[in-house]
Amino acid sequence: MDEPQRARRPGGRSARVRAAVHQAVTELVGERGYSGFTVGEIAARAGVADTSIYRRWGNLENLLADVTNARLTARSPMPDTGSLSGDLHTYAANVAREITGPDGPAVLRLTIALSDMDEQGLRARDDFLAERSRQLQSMLDRAAERGEDPPDALDVLDHVMAPMYIRVLLGIGALTPDYIDGLVDRLLS
Q: Which is nearer to its own copies, 7 or 172 (CB)?
A: 172
Phi, psi of 11 (to 5 degrees): 85, -5
Site string for its own copies, 118-137 (x = CB under 8 A): ----x--xx--x--------
Report the residue count for the chain. Answer: 189
Nearest-angstrom CA–CA distance, 159 and 152:
11
Residues 6+ apart with CB under 8 A from 78: 87, 91, 135, 136, 138, 139
Q: Which is nearer to its own copies, 43 or 72 (CB)?
A: 72
Query: Is residue 70 within the footprint of its own copies (CB under 8 A)?
Result: no
Q: Minimum Å distance from CB 109 to its own copies?
A: 7
Q: Minimum Å distance from CB 88 to its own copies?
A: 16
User: How many helices and strands (H and E) does the chain possess?
Assistant: 11, 0
Site string for its own copies, 144-173 (x = CB under 8 A): ----------x--xxx-xxx-xxx-xxxxx
Query: Is residue 108 within the footprint of its own copies (CB under 8 A)?
Result: yes
Note whether 41 and 79 are within 8 A (CB). no
* Out of 79, 112, 148, 188, the residue judged to bind its own copies by CB under 8 A: 112
Question: How big, in percent rounded to 5, are the helix, strand and coil portions of the chain?
Answer: 75, 0, 25
Residues at the contact surface with its own copies, assessed by CB under 8 A: 33, 108-109, 111-112, 115-116, 122, 125-126, 129, 154, 157-159, 161-163, 165-167, 169-173, 183
